[in-house]
Structure 1
Amino acid sequence: MLKYQNNNKTLQGRFTKYVQIDTQSDPLSETIPSTEKQKDLGRVLVAELLEMGITDAHLDDFGYVYATIPSTTEKEVPVICFCSHMDTSPDCSGKNVKPIIHPNYQGQDLVLPDDETIILKMAEHPDLKDQIGNDIITASGTTLLGADNKAGVAEIMEAAAFLISHPEIKHGKIRILFTPDEEIGRGVDKADLKKLGADFGYTIDGETLGSIEDETFSADGAVLTINGVSTHPGFAKGKMESAIKILADVISALPADCLSPESTELKEGFIHPVTFGGSVEQAEARFILRAFNDEELSANGELLDATVQNIIEDFPNSTYTLKITPQYRNMKQVLDQYPQVIEYGIEAIKRAGIVPKQQSIRGGTDGSRLSFMGLPCPNIFAGEHAFHGKQEWASVQDMEKAVQTIVNIASIWEEKA
C-alpha cells in the first residue's frame, strides 16, 4: 500500500498553525460551545477541508465540524469516524501560543525561551528517551502547546488530504468529527450522531507512540455547597459558622494518602477538588470523581457525602447540598462487545512499523461517551505529551506515524469487509 510521506512538512505546518488559535474552553460558561473562540479553529478547518475537495465540510452552530471522505471501493464497508477535539484545557493559558520546533533532538535539556525556568528534562519526561534524532515541538514557556488535541486534529486533516489525493487507496466512507469542549466534559453534548452516520469510530487523542486505549475512567462531577451562618465578626462568638472554613475542613478531611491524584496511579481512582470559592454565608467547591468501575465510583461519591456529614455535625445551624452528576463511563464496557474495532486498530499500528501498546488511560476522551451513545470508539495515540501545562510537547515523527495509522485503519476496514 502507498505510504504517507510528510515530504513538504505539511503536517507540522498544520499543527503549528492550529496551536496559535486560542481555543481554551471554560467550565464556568453555560453556552455551547463554552467559548465562541473555539469556532475560530473550526472555520479554518472547514475552509481547508473544502479546499481539499471535501464538499460537505461545515461548522454547525454548536461548534462541531463535520465532513466526509467519500468511499473509493465497491464493497459495503462500515462507516468509520475519526474524531479529535479542538479545545484546549482551562488549566493553563492557550493564548498567544508560540510553537518552537527543536530539530534533531539529542537528549539535551530543552529550555523554553520566554520563561527559562520551564525546562524539559529527559529524567522528568521518560518518553523523550525514544525521541533521539526526532523533531520536538514545544511552546515558548508561558502557555501550554495545545498538542492535546490539536496534534490529533492536524493528523486527521493530514490523513484526509492524503486519502483525497490518492483515490487508489481503497477505503469505505470516512466521517470526520471535530468537537468543542472535550476538556470540560461536554465534548459530545451536541454531537449529532444521526447526521454523523458512522458505525465505528476512533478518537485520535492519545499519548505515547503505538498506544491504543480501550479503557478509561468512569467519571462523575460533584458540586458541594455549604450554607453557613454569617454575622458581624466583632460579635460572632457562638454565632458564626463560616461556610469557607467548613468547606476547607471537608477538603482537609478527605484521604491524602489514597483517593487523591497526587497519591494514585494505574487503576486507582480519586476524589479531586478543582474549584473552591465563596463567602462566610455560602461557599462552593467542585469535584471530579474518578474510578475504573462504576461500583468504586459510586463508593467515592458516598465517601465524599459521608465526609461532609461528619464535618457539618459540628455546625448545627449550617446545611449543605451535594449534587453528583454523571460525566462519562469506562468505554471498555462497550468496546468488549466489538473486538474487531480494537483488533483493526492494533493491526493498523503494526503496519505503521510500531509495536502496539493496548492500555488503559487515567482520563477520558470523547470516545468514552460516544461509545455509550452507540458509536464504539477507542483512542489512538496522537503523540501529545505532558498536556495541560507549559512543558507540553509533541514529536513530529510520532505524529507522522499517527497519520499512517489513520490511513491504515481506513484500509483495513475495507480489506476485512
Structure 2
Amino acid sequence: MPFESSTPRQVHIVGGGPVGLMLAALLQTMGDYSIRLYEKRSPYTRTRMVKLDTYLVADTVESYCIDYIDEENVEAVFDRADLEEGVASRQSIAPDLRSLLLEWTLGFCPLNAIEQALSDLIDQRGTHSVERVAGDLTAQDALAIVGPDDILIDCTGSRSLLRDHISPAFGGVGGEANLFKVRLEYTLVITFLYSQTYVCDEYCKYYKNAENDSYKFIPAVHRTFYDQGVSHVTGIVNITEAEYQAMPSRFDSAWLRSNFPGVTLSMDRFIDRIKHETGGEILGELEIVRIPLDLYHARNVTSRKWHALDSADHPLASSPAFLAGDSAIGSPYFQSISLGFECAMFLAGLIGQQDLPLREKFDRYENFMYKQWLRVYMRSKMIKHNKDLFETLDDTFALLEKLHIY
C-alpha cells in the first residue's frame, strides 16, 4: 500500500539553486528533518539581476496581488480561504529568512547574491540538519538515493531531471513528455548601469520609442534598482527566430553594433533620450543575452500516480516526490524566481504538516500548482498581448489586426 503514515524525516533536495536553497532554509527551521542538498555547482556564478515580487511577503490578501491584472486573475482562480491560509503561513517563516525576502522585494538583486545569502543563512544557523552533497546527478542517481518513505524534491530547473520520471504515464521516456510549453517570443535582454536615478512608465516607453519602427527597446516598469543614485536598468527587444539563431548566447554592444545595427539604433535612441532628460551616463559595458521566452508547466508535479499503483516496483511508489521551481513551472517577464519561491513555501508548509495524509498532500500540491500555472499563464499572455499592441500603436491597421473585439 502507498505510504500514508507520518511524514518521512529524510528529505533529498536535488538542485542547489535559489529554490533548492529556499526549501532547505524553510525545512531547516522545522527541526524534524534530515536534509540532503545535492548541489551541482559551487560557488554561485550567475550574476543576472532578478527581483522578487511583493506577494512573497504579503501580510494581507489584498497585498498578495501584484497589480490590477493579477488581482482579477487571483480572484478568478483562488478561493479566499486558500489565500488567507497562504498569508497566514508567511507569518511562520523564520525572521532571519523573512528579512532577506523583504530586502529582495525592494529592487533588483544579482541572482548569485540571493543564492549566497541563502547558503550563508543555512550555514550560520548551525543546526547541522542540512548535509551538502556536491556533484552532478543523473535521473537514475536521483531515484537510487531515496529509501522507502524518504521525500525527494526536484529543484533542478527547466531541464528537470525527474519531470518525465515522476509519473508512470511517462516512465522516463524523455523528450519533455510531461510538459506543456508555449513559446511567447525571442528577445534580447539588455542591462546597464546608469549614473542617475531613472524611472520609466508606459508613457516614457512609448515616447522614447516613437522613431523606432522595426525594434522597440522596452525597459521593465517599476523594476529599476537604485543604489546611491545609480540605476540598474533592464530592457528587452523583440527579435525574430532567425536573428536569435544568428546570435551568440551572450555578447556586448560592440558585437551588436557590428552585426545588428537596426537593434543597436533602437537601443541607442532610447538611451540618448534618457541622457538628454537626466544628464547621466552609462557606467561600464552593456550586458546583452539572447533568450527564448517560454511559458510552461509540468502536467504532473508529484508522484501520486506511482503511489496509486500498489504493487509498482519503482522507487517513487514508496517514496513521495515533488517538482519545485522551474522543474514544475517556468515563466518569463521576471516572474520565474518569485513563482519558484512561492511553490517552495507552500510545499514546505505541506511537508511540515506531519498529520496530513500523503494523498492529501499530493492532491493539495497538484491543485495549488495548477492554480499558480493558471495565474501566471493568464498574466504572461496579457503582458505579451500588451507588448504586441504597444509595438503597433503608430500603425492603425496593424493595431486593429491584433485586436479581437466581440
- The TM-score, its normalising length taken from structure 2, stands at 0.34
Give the number of the structure whose residues are more often helix, by fraction: 2
